[in-house]
Structure 1
Amino acid sequence: MTMTVREAGLALADPAAYADEPRFHEALALLRREDPVHRVEAEGYGPFWAVTRHADILEIERNHTLFHNAPRSLLVPAEMDARQRQREAEGTALRTLVHMDDPEHRVVRAIGADWFRPKAMRAMQQRVDELARTYVDRMAELGGECDFVQQIAVHYPLYVILSLLGLPESDFPRMLKLTQELFGEGDPELRRGAEADDVLATLLDFFTYFQDLTNARRAAPTDDLASAIANARVDGAHLSDIDTLSYYVIIATAGHDTTSSTISGGLHALIQHPGELRRLRDDPALLPTAVDEMIRWVTPVKEFMRTATADARVGQVLVREGESLLLSYPSANRDEDVFDEPFRFDVGRDPNKHLAFGFGVHYCLGAALARMETRSLFAELLPRLESVELAGRPEWAATTFVGGLKRLPIHYTLKG
């Protein structure tokens, strides 16, 4: 059935649409071609401009003084937007780097920045490689069949990020459940419940856990990222309780779900493109470009929102002060004006100017770690992988923010 431009725009506000990748990319291609800055008025949501071309998104990201993250950082139902504004007024709102603008953003980002610089990544490499080996060994123990998402991909990066934070392994299952509930808010299978209060209950559980952690690290600091956050000072004072807890939440969640989606989506792409799998196995030197192609292909972060601080022209459209824009990263990363054959998975793609990590001052803090984790897992898996194929139908999570595959049943044979 032929899709209209209006229907294509509405897909961006429909979590279920993201779970039907072919149809979703058809919608995005239509918008890029026919109306690349498209006004969307979806039931239950405040209106917004959907920005779908790479060049327009890049220009918005570059101009962070004209286009702010606040007050509408993510696409959520209008009811949740209203609750967020109320909590902001009360001083009880979740305030992560995603919600902040400069100069506050620059100061708060610096608290964790050193933990993701090259020196820190080199120090983490051994632990990441050990965990990659552990999870490929687990695949061997599973006897040649598994749900790669649920049994491998969601665990490995969570263990990495929680190791960086310095949390005990006994707490990892609890963190896994909470992160899936938070980012699975649009998916009936993953979310805690269908009401806005259920999202708040998940956040409250996060906050309760991390408040205890903050108290412990302030009483007895240790050499981990949790201590750096707990003991950080801005203008001589600790972060507020809500800002401290928000920092933990963004590190624990964004450092997990995005990478697990890339790893599972990357393996799925290799299964779908056996020629590229052979090419990568025959030439392991391609692994760095293959990892970036997996990131482009999956684009785990689907959108961020911006608000115009003054009247501005985006493409051919005049956006008025105070109006909201949705930056569609999956669309940017399939833009025909930027990528040769954008719907071809190419492990040697170079250059690869994807925007999966954003751009400019809000460029993903954990980008280097995400690349390292993905590279380490496939560096361990590919030399041992003799065969792999689907053992059932893959399923994608319903989401408008972060997500990817939630099931990837596979048959495989491994050496050793």
Structure 2
Amino acid sequence: MSLDAQHVERKLPDLSDPLWYSGDRAEELWASLRERTPLFRTERETGDSFWSVLGHPLANAVLRDSETFVSSRGMRLDSPPAPTAQAAGRVLIVSDPPRHGSIRRIISSAFTPRTVRRLESTIRRTASDIVDAAVAEGDCDAVQMAARLPVSVICDMLGVPREDWEHLLHQSMTAMNSGGDREIEIEANSEILAYYEHLVRLRRKDPGDDVVSALIHGAVDGVPFTDEEIILNCNALLSAGNETTRHSMVGGLLAFIRFPGEWDRLRDDPGLMPTAVQEILRYASPVLHVLRTAVKDTRIGDEAVADGDKVAVWLPAVNRDATVFDDPDRFDAGREPNRHLALSAGPHFCLGSSLAVMEITVLFEELLKRVDRAELTGEPRRVRSNFIQGYETAPVALRRRTA
């Protein structure tokens, strides 16, 4: 499929086709489409249809209106109907208020001050170890380097014993990097779910300061979670926390390679780190879309949207909206204000946002201490997906800092 401007002008594309995101010209696609229409409807060859939201103001309105646009009917295009229906109202990401708020509060209750201190220690130690190893190696795959940090943090957050972290890391990386082999992916995911069954049994006997223990002892409307509901929520947290953070880290490093002056700027002024991290999230926009379903007739902008219509908010397009972001295709470590929606908005604003920010911050602090310059040593290969914007591989050289 060509991304040339003439093709886009002839026909509004089906943005659910992952081929649109296989190269590095998606920014041109977003800009061309947004200039024509920030909202349009796609009739798919499969017979279903969806609306695409590309403009920031419209996206913000949809994401914040959980009474009109619900998540319980699926949070991504092409989700299998049966598992989605099974998880609806039981798993945080496919629940709606008020139940969504109840589940969110139970999970959040695990983040006591002592737990946060423990997670901070895990983040710093793991980030230091992986950067030391990558710098010593010189040439490395940024995807492999970044993968270890979020998985370690999620393991700690869930209450996985430290001796089992490597097992869960191996299985999660196998599932994520199966090369399209569905059998390998299914087997690895089955291993992960089986481990969560074991973890639930373990934490019922020996509770701790962790999310699994909080779910075991939590209840919504007086009804405790079943083991299945706990396992499904653990799996969703692993997937969401790992994918978003890992691809943000890799996208951020590639952005600094593309804009080396921003790396020098951050090194000279480390006080820019908070704005740089938010810019990494905006620029990388690791989640391509989030889905909502209208539950009543309504309007988005000038368009009539019917009860039952699916609405996909394309976050990278929203985060490059020139009406909101000056020079949006430029990576600016000091960008302020930065009203990006990479972590969504409204009730489904990322539960782990503070952890994600902390992980990205610490990784780049450790890189700044040790790395003078990062360079590409090969062509990064993107994940083939209409949901995740990220890379399967990103070969880089980390040139050691000498002063």
AA matched with 2:23: D
Q: Name the CA shift for 1:148/1:346 in 2 (closer, same or farther; >3 Å).
A: same
Whether the 8 Å CA contact 2:89–2:99 is kept in 1: the answer is no
| 1:153 to 2:156 alignment | no
The residue aligned with 1:236 is 222
AA matched with 1:157: P
Whether the 8 Å CA contact 1:3–1:27 is kept in 2: the answer is no
| 1:216 to 2:202 alignment | yes
> Deviation digits for residues 104-160 of structure 1, max 9, x if unmatched?
111111111134577754553222111111111111331x1111112x111112112
Once the 2 structures are TM-superposed, how far is the Cα of residue 219 of structure 1 from its aligned partner? 1.8
Q: Name the CA shift for 1:398/1:167 in 2 (closer, same or farther; >3 Å).
A: same
> Deviation digits for residues 58-104 of structure 1, max 9, x if unmatched?
00112110111121321116xx23x336xx3xx57795212111111
Whether the 8 Å CA contact 2:89–2:100 is kept in 1: the answer is no
| 1:336 to 2:322 alignment | yes
Whether the 8 Å CA contact 2:87–2:94 is kept in 1: the answer is no
Residue 193 of structure 1, aligned match among 182, 191, 194: 182
Moved more, 267-276 or 35-44: 35-44
Distance in 1 separating the partners of 2:18 and 2:66: 27
> Deviation digits for residues 202-249 of structure 1, max 9, x if unmatched?
554433221121111112212322222233223334212321111101
Q: Name the CA shift for 1:179/1:235 in 2 (closer, same or farther; >3 Å).
A: same
Once the 2 structures are TM-superposed, how far is the Cα of residue 29 of structure 1 from its aligned partner? 1.6
Q: Name the CA shift for 1:100/1:392 in 2 (closer, same or farther; >3 Å).
A: same
The residue aligned with 1:166 is 159
Moved more, 110-119 or 232-241: 110-119
The residue aligned with 2:383 is 397
The residue aligned with 1:55 is 57
| 1:347 to 2:347 alignment | no
Once the 2 structures are TM-superposed, how far is the Cα of residue 4 of structure 1 from its aligned partner? 2.3
AA matched with 2:83: Q
The residue aligned with 1:104 is 99
Q: Name the CA shift for 1:94/1:253 in 2 (closer, same or farther; >3 Å).
A: farther
| 1:358 to 2:344 alignment | yes
The residue aligned with 2:20 is 17
The residue aligned with 1:375 is 361
RMSD: 2.4
The residue aligned with 2:396 is 410
Distance in 1 separating the partners of 2:340 and 2:162: 34
> Deviation digits for residues 286-326 of structure 1, max 9, x if unmatched?
01100110000011111111111111111121001111100
Secondary structure in 1 aligned to 2:182?
Answer: coil
Distance in 1 separating the partners of 2:139 and 2:243: 23
Q: Name the CA shift for 1:380/1:203 in 2 (closer, same or farther; >3 Å).
A: closer
Whether the 8 Å CA contact 2:41–2:51 is kept in 1: the answer is yes
Moved more, 325-334 or 210-219: 210-219
The residue aligned with 2:83 is 84
Q: Name the CA shift for 1:28/1:95 in 2 (closer, same or farther; >3 Å).
A: farther
Once the 2 structures are TM-superposed, how far is the Cα of residue 169 of structure 1 from its aligned partner? 4.1
Secondary structure in 2 aligned to 1:353?
Answer: coil
The residue aligned with 1:130 is 125
Distance in 1 separating the partners of 2:90 and 2:334: 38
> Deviation digits for residues 150-188 of structure 1, max 9, x if unmatched?
2x111112112212222134433443455456667xxxx
Secondary structure in 1 aligned to 2:388?
Answer: coil
> Deviation digits for residues 238-290 of structure 1, max 9, x if unmatched?
21232111110122121112111111110111011111111111110001100
Once the 2 structures are TM-superposed, how far is the Cα of residue 8 of structure 1 from its aligned partner? 4.8
Residue 318 of structure 1, aligned match among 304, 312, 315: 304
Distance in 1 separating the partners of 2:114 and 2:44: 46
Matched positions, count = 398
Structure 1, unpaired ranges of 5+: none
| 1:140 to 2:126 alignment | no
Secondary structure in 2 aligned to 1:167?
Answer: coil
Whether the 8 Å CA contact 1:92–1:242 is kept in 2: the answer is no
Whether the 8 Å CA contact 2:139–2:396 is kept in 1: the answer is yes
> Deviation digits for residues 39-66 of structure 1, max 9, x if unmatched?
1123337210011111001001121101
Whether the 8 Å CA contact 1:67–1:306 is kept in 2: the answer is yes
Distance in 2 separating the partners of 1:182 and 1:317: 40
Once the 2 structures are TM-superposed, how far is the Cα of residue 359 of structure 1 from its aligned partner? 0.7
Once the 2 structures are TM-superposed, how far is the Cα of residue 394 of structure 1 from its aligned partner? 1.1
Percent identical among aligned pairs is 34
Whether the 8 Å CA contact 2:176–2:185 is kept in 1: the answer is no
Once the 2 structures are TM-superposed, how far is the Cα of residue 26 of structure 1 from its aligned partner? 2.0
Whether the 8 Å CA contact 2:377–2:395 is kept in 1: the answer is yes
Distance in 2 separating the partners of 1:199 and 1:101: 29
Secondary structure in 1 aligned to 2:242?
Answer: helix
TM-score by length of structure 1 reads 0.88
Q: Name the CA shift for 1:124/1:268 in 2 (closer, same or farther; >3 Å).
A: same
Structure 2, unpaired ranges of 5+: none
Once the 2 structures are TM-superposed, how far is the Cα of residue 201 of structure 1 from its aligned partner? 5.6
